[in-house]
């Protein structure tokens, strides 16, 4: 006996029960045990930042990882299930700063770096526990407890090793340039950090037009435009396009003539003529400006088409990257007006101590007072903000450590071309990035991060340390007090310079976090590790948090490169990139063979999700209200090349669809129990029933297995969902509908076939909805595997394609028949005389089933003359083709003066019209209802006679009795006594009794029944 099913599943309760059972029976351990030694499938997990609990966004990626790992496990693959946590960098630091109420680096230093490091670690510990709990609830099967943490000493040492190699190749250098800078975080940011989502936000800035008096031409000036007033004190030059035509206004102002078409100019001149002229700087009254000779310079990059500005560009090499490059090529002076916190240096006089924002208004006022201001307003544009703290970015001159990329760039491009990207365009994005990216800025002036192992000596030599061992060997100070390879402890250890033996200190910078994550395919797989070290990964800050081993090099050989990695698209320039880059440097090849990327998650109305907008969905809430299976379904149903609109609305829709499947299982449970049907698990190895309908269901199941297999192999979960939904439709709306009388008759083959189809489909869908699938498996399968996840992937033969095509056509005819009936307005229970079907040769043998489904007496296959063909010209296409003949052709079409040709073409007066050039409609003639899909046409004879009418009434009555039976709480097998109010239906009491399980049918004043 099967356990009876409730009307609908309580997903949350059911999932918690399944989780319990998995834990009790150690199902995941059993699965890994079973697959050990099988073919390998290497998955490397991208680390999740450990600064939060599980969010529905993160659950998306985790679901995809789990789905494809579960599929591969069903296929018997031995896999790695190591989860990773990202533990360092601004994410963590900014969170702790907020918690402590800090807003500057000074406050962190006053608080103490040791204590600050401890707080950062606390965040990671707390968050990693929450993320683990959330992921387990989501159903993700990972090797929890053996996670990697990127702040472990082992991970850090691997990065040191990488940096040492980079140094040996001469790709490491200390760059001096104007770089993107967050004044709040007090650090530079790299190019890839500015490409993250949310960095560019709309911002309103001052818009200033500033007059700069020419020293060599009395009464004349050039006008420049800027949206960053704070950079004006750093002005050293004004650039013109040598070929641009500039105009001199009556008031002596030079501007680009084309920008001001309505102005009158007293003189016009090429930019080249202005080049070399000296001018008075806007802040020559302050010491830095006073020391600079300001000149007009030529620059081909001056945009002559721009709709804003004056065609004369304010140049401040210390406050803009392009300005810096230009200044370098021309040997211009460089002024750096603001410090790390974005405040003016002391030598800027009255500006000193002001932030770039605070200074803006005062600078505008000062310029106006001194006659430099032409015009001021505001300007709305997309402007870069710090990805971590939302502060607007500035550019300032800074010394940063860079990795030069030009030499390795060709190798990167060559390797990326070998990677299989899903969706394909993401590979193109990677290629674009690799072609255009600049050198990698790897240093950050922060605290909780990878300490860069750089020891520059005053003798000019740079020592780069490649391991903890090497540090010990070169250390001048004792290493006893080095609990973690981290600031502040590591800063206290000086080493002997390789060149001159003098003691040198480490630079204070920490590394870009993407180094932490990028090294993972080496640090966690034991690259070049001479031996296997139990718990060897649990070092430094990771000690006590994990039991992860440091494997040996043979293990790395076995599992590198990853067969598959998956993250969101944003990671192209982040994790996909950093590990790719590091891997190409270390071993000259890509660390992954295939990537699945996916787009962004928005709310169900297409808006970004924000805590402050109230549309953020908490994962806990989603588990409770929709259940993990429904969440997973929502993630899997999403084509990866489009944004996912996630929410409770779509979840409701999914529950509705899944209910159809649930109800199909309920049919088996109900009739199976009535028939005392005992399934035989051996049937799963192969079922060959006799009846065509059963054979079709088996073939249809095999087709599902094949389609889903192809979809999983292509890592396109959306195609798994589509295949499963189509299968459930066929199962429920054809097989079960057509088999009801046989279930009734307790026919074993029908129940067996239904059981087979359901159970095989559970195996197919189990990676997507592991809970519901296992719950139903336990109910339907007795005496074989204890879990669907241990049952393996179904082995099936090639499906009988001819049979599948045949029934697909039958279903299409029935669908069209239903459409035709609905246009006629006649209810389904009203029998009709005749259906004529054209264009469905495969359905010919199924006339009886079609008649039964559509409630018609007779089905004919042949030409449909019951309809009138109406053809209209498709004007946008035919107009150009026919020109003046269009009117005539149109008239002939209206009159019906045309011939239908093969393939949907039409002949009209010497013209052949292609299918796309015409709009075709088939209208039922009087007394007929017609529907067509272009190939198949179904025409229903809608004429009623007395016999049909009374039959319709009998059907209505039977239906009313069925409803009444259900409402009275009768079991489907209960017999009844029945009273009906319609005397003229009494002659049909035999049929009525048969269909309603009545032992007697009598006349009464109203419809009623009682249990017999
Ligand atoms: Zn910041
Ligand atoms: Zn030295």
Cα 31 to middle of ligand 1, angstroms:
45
pLDDT of residue 875 exceeding 90: no
CA of 456 relative to ligand 2 center, distance in Å: 8
Helix ranges (H only) for 104-195 are 105-111, 113-138, 153-168
Distance 447 CA to ligand 1 centre (A): 14
d(CA 632, CA 299): 55
Residue 162 exposed, middle or buried by CB count within 10 Å (0-12, 13-18, 19+): buried
The pLDDT score that the predictor gives to residue 206 is 94
Q: Which ligand is nearest to the CA of 460?
A: 2
Give the number of the ligand closest to the Cα of residue 463: 2
Measure 686 CA to ligand 1 centroid, in angstroms: 62
The Cα 700–Cα 50 span in angstroms is 45
Q: Are 373 and 209 in contact (CB under 8 A)?
A: yes
Instruction: Kindly report the pTM of this predicted structure.
Output: 0.86
Sign of the alpha-carbon dihedral angle for 141, 143, 145, 146? negative
Average pLDDT over residues 795-802: 92
**What mean pLDDT comes out for the span 228-236?**
96
Residue 578, pLDDT > 80, answer yes
- pLDDT score for 863: 82
- For 276-319, the three-class secondary structure string (H helix, E strand, C coil) is CCEECCCCCCCHHHHCCCCEEEECCCCCCCCCCCCCEEEECCCC
Provide mean pLDDT across the span 198-213: 94
User: Of 188-202, 216-230, 760-774, which range is least confident?
Assistant: 188-202
The C-alpha atoms of residue 367 and residue 375 are separated, in whole angstroms, by 10
Ligand with the closest atom to the CA of 503? 2
Cα(625) to centroid of ligand 1, in Å? 36
Q: Give tens-digit pLDDT for 243-286.
A: 999 999 999 999 999 999 999 999 999 999 999 999 999 999 99
Q: How far is the CA of 582 from the centre of ligand 2 (A)?
A: 29
- Min mean pLDDT across 153-167, 282-296, 889-903 is at 889-903
Whether 473 has a pLDDT exceeding 70, the answer reads: yes
User: Which ligand is located closest to the Cα atom of residue 182?
Assistant: 1
Tell me the CA–centroid distance for residue 443 and ligand 1, in Å.
Answer: 15
Q: What is the total residue count of the chain?
A: 1012
Flag whether pLDDT at 155 surpasses 90.
yes
719 in Cβ contact with 768 (< 8 Å): no
Residue 539 DSSP code:
-
Ligand number, closest to the Cα atom of 445:
1
Reported as a pLDDT band with limits 50, 70 and 90, residue 752 is very high
% of the chain residues with pLDDT over 70: 100
Query: CB 16: neighbour CB atoms within 10 A?
Result: 16
CB 323 within 8 Å of CB 299? no
Mean pLDDT of 63-82: 98
- The CA distance from 385 to 396, in Å, is 15
- Top-confidence range, 634-643, 778-787, 858-867: 634-643
Q: How far is the CA of 505 from the centre of ligand 2 (A)?
A: 11
> Which pLDDT band holds residue 528 (cuts at 50, 70, 90)?
very high
Whether residue 783 has pLDDT greater than 80: no
Round the average pLDDT of the chain to a whole number and report it. Answer: 94
In this prediction, residue 866 carries a pLDDT of: 60
Closest CA to 720 of 19, 24, 64: 64
Query: How many whole angstroms from 476 Cα to the centroid of ligand 2?
Result: 14
Taking only the tens place, the pLDDT of each residue in 322-345 is 999 999 889 999 999 999 999 999
Distance CA 169, CA 405 (A): 11
From 946, 944, 924, select the one nearest 866 (Cα to Cα).
924
CA 953 to chain centre: 54
Which are the contacts of 7, defined by CB distance < 8 A and separation ≥ 6?
A: none
Residues with CB under 5 A from ligand 1 (ion): 182, 184-185, 386, 389, 391
Whether the per-residue pLDDT at 131 is higher than 90: the answer is yes
Give the ligand whose atoms come closest to the C-alpha of residue 495. 2
Cβ atoms 720, 601 nearer than 8 A? no
Give the ligand at the shortest distance from the Cα of 462: 2
CA of 178 to the centre of ligand 1 (A): 17
Give the per-residue pLDDT at 897: 85
643 CA distance to ligand 1 middle (Å): 27
Q: Where does the pLDDT of residue 900 fall: very low under 50, low under 70, confident under 90, or very high at 90 and above?
A: confident
Q: Using one digit for the tens of pLDDT, what is the confidence trace for 353-390?
A: 999 999 999 999 999 999 999 999 999 999 999 988 88
d(CA 637, CA 653): 12
pLDDT band with cut points at 50, 70 and 90 for residue 918: confident
Asked if residue 541 has pLDDT above 80, the reply is yes
| Residue 113 clears pLDDT 80, i.e. is over it | yes
CA–CA gap between residue 322 and residue 416 (Å, rounded): 29
pLDDT over 80 at 784, yes or no? no
Distance CA 307, CA 468 (A): 57
Distance 455 CA to ligand 2 centre (A): 9
**Closest ligand to 341 CA?**
1
pLDDT at 867 over 70: no
Ligand nearest to the CA of residue 497, numbered in listed order: 2
**What pLDDT band is residue 92 in, cutting at 50, 70 and 90?**
very high
**pLDDT tier for residue 924 given thresholds of 50, 70 and 90:** low
Q: Measured between alpha carbons, how far is residue 800 from residues 749, 757, 765 in Å? A: 19, 15, 22
Residue 190 has pLDDT above 90, yes or no: no
Alpha-carbon distance of 511 to 514, in angstroms, equals 8
**Residue 978 forms beta bridges with which residues?**
1001, 1009
| pLDDT value at residue 550 | 98
């Amino acid at each position: 006996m099967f356990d009876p099913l409730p009307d609908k599943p309580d997903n949350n309760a059911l999932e918690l029960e399944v989780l319990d059972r998995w834990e009790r029976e150690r199902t995941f351990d059993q699965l890994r045990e079973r697959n050990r030694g099988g073919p390998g499938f290497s998955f490397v997990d991208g680390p999740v930042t450990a600064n939060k609990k599980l969010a529905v966004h993160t659950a998306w990626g985790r679901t995809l990882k789990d789905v494809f790992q579960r599929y591969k496990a069903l296929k018997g693959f031995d896999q790695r299930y190591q989860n990773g946590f990202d533990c360092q960098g601004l994410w963590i630091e900014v969170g702790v700063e907020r918690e402590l109420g800090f807003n500057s680096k000074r406050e962190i230093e006053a608080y103490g770096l040791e204590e600050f490091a401890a707080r950062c670690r606390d965040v990671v510990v707390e968050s990693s526990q929450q993320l683990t709990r959330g992921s387990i609830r989501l159903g993700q099967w990972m090797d929890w407890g053996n996670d990697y943490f990127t702040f472990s000493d082992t991970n850090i040492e691997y990065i040191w090793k990488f940096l040492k190699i980079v140094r040996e190749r001469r790709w490491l250098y200390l760059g001096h340039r104007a770089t993107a800078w967050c004044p709040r975080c007090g650090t530079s940011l790299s190019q890839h950090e500015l490409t993250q989502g949310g960095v560019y936000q709309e911002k309103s800035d001052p818009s200033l037009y500033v007059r700069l008096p020419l020293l060599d031409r009395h009464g004349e000036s050039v006008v420049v435009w800027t949206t960053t007033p704070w950079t004006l004190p750093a002005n050293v030059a004004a650039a013109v396009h040598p070929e641009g035509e500039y105009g001199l206004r009556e008031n002596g102002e030079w501007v680009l003539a084309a920008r001001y078409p309505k102005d009158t100019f007293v003189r016009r001149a090429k930019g080249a003529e202005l080049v070399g002229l000296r001018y008075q700087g806007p802040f020559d009254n302050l010491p830095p400006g006073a020391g600079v000779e300001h000149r007009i310079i030529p620059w081909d990059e001056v945009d002559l088409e721009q709709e804003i500005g004056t065609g004369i560009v304010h140049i401040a090499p210390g406050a803009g990257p392009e300005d810096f490059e230009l200044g370098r090529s021309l040997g211009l002076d460089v002024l750096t007006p603001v410090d790390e916190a974005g405040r003016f240096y002391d030598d800027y006089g009255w500006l000193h101590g002001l932030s770039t924002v605070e200074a803006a208004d005062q600078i505008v006022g000062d310029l106006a007072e001194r006659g430099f201001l032409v015009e001021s307003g505001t300007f709305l544009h997309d402007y870069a903000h710090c990805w971590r703290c939302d502060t607007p970015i500035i550019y300032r001159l800074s010394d940063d450590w860079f990795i030069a990329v030009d030499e390795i760039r060709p190798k990167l491009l060559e390797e990326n071309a070998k990677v299989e990207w899903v969706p394909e365009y993401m590979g193109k994005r990677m290629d674009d990035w690799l072609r255009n990216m600049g050198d990698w800025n790897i240093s950050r002036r922060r605290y909780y991060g990878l300490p860069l192992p750089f020891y520059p000596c005053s003798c000019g030599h740079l020592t780069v340390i490649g391991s903890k061992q090497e540090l010990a060997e070169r250390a001048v100070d004792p290493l006893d007090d080095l609990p973690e390879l981290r600031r502040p402890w590591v800063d206290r250890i000086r080493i002997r310079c390789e060149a001159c033996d003098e003691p040198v200190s480490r630079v204070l910078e920490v590394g870009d976090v993407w180094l932490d994550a990028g090294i993972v395919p080496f640090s966690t797989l034991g690259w070049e590790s001479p031996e296997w070290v139990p718990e060897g990964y649990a070092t430094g800050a990771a000690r006590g948090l994990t039991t992860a081993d440091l494997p040996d090099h043979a293990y790395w050989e076995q599992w590198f490169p990853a067969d598959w990695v998956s993250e969101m698209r944003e990671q192209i320039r982040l994790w996909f990139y950093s590990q790719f880059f590091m891997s190409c440097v270390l071993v000259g090849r890509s660390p992954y063979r295939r990537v699945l990327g996916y787009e962004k998650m928005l709310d169900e109305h297409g808006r970004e999700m924000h805590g402050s907008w109230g549309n953020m969905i908490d994962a806990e809430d989603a588990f409770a209200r929709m259940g993990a299976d429904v969440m997973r379904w929502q993630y899997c149903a999403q084509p990866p090349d489009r944004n996912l609109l996630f929410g409770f609305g779509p979840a409701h829709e999914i529950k509705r669809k899944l209910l159809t499947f649930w109800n199909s299982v309920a049919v088996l449970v109900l009739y199976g129990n009535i028939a005392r049907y005992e399934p035989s698990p051996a049937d799963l190895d192969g079922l060959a029933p006799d009846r065509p309908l059963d054979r079709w269901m088996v073939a249809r199941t095999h087709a599902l297995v094949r389609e889903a297999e192809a979809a999983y192999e292509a890592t396109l979960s959306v195609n798994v969902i589509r295949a499963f939904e189509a299968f459930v439709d066929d199962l429920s709306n054809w097989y079960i509908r057509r088999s009801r009388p046989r279930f009734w008759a307790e026919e074993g083959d029908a129940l067996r076939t239904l059981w087979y189809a359901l159970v095989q489909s559970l195996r197919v869908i189990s990676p997507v909805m592991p809970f519901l699938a296992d719950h139903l498996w336990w109910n339907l399968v007795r005496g074989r595997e204890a879990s669907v996840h241990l049952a393996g992937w179904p082995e099936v033969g090639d499906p009988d394609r001819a049979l599948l095509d045949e029934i697909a056509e039958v279903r299409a005819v029935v669908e069209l028949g239903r459409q035709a009936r609905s246009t006629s307005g006649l209810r389904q229970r009203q029998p009709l005389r005749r259906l004529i079907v054209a264009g469905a040769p495969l359905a010919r043998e199924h006339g009886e089933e079609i008649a039964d489904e559509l409630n018609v007496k007779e089905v004919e296959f042949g030409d449909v003359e019951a309809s009138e063909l109406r053809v209209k010209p498709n004007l946008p296409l035919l107009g150009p083709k026919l020109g003046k003949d269009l009117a005539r052709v149109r008239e002939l079409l209206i009159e019906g003066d045309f011939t239908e040709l093969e393939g949907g073409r039409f002949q009209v007066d010497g013209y052949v019209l292609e299918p796309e050039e015409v709009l075709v409609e088939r209208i039922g003639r009087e007394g007929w209802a017609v529907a067509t899909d272009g190939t198949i046409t179904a025409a229903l004879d809608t004429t009623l006679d007395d016999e049909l009418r009374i039959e319709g009434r009998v059907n209505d009555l039977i239906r009313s009795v069925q409803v009444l039976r259900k409402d009275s709480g009768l079991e489907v097998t209960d017999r009844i006594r029945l009273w009906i109010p319609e005397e003229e239906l009494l002659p049909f009491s035999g049929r009525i009794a048969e269909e309603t399980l009545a032992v007697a049918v009598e006349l009464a004043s109203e419809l009623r029944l009682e249990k017999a």
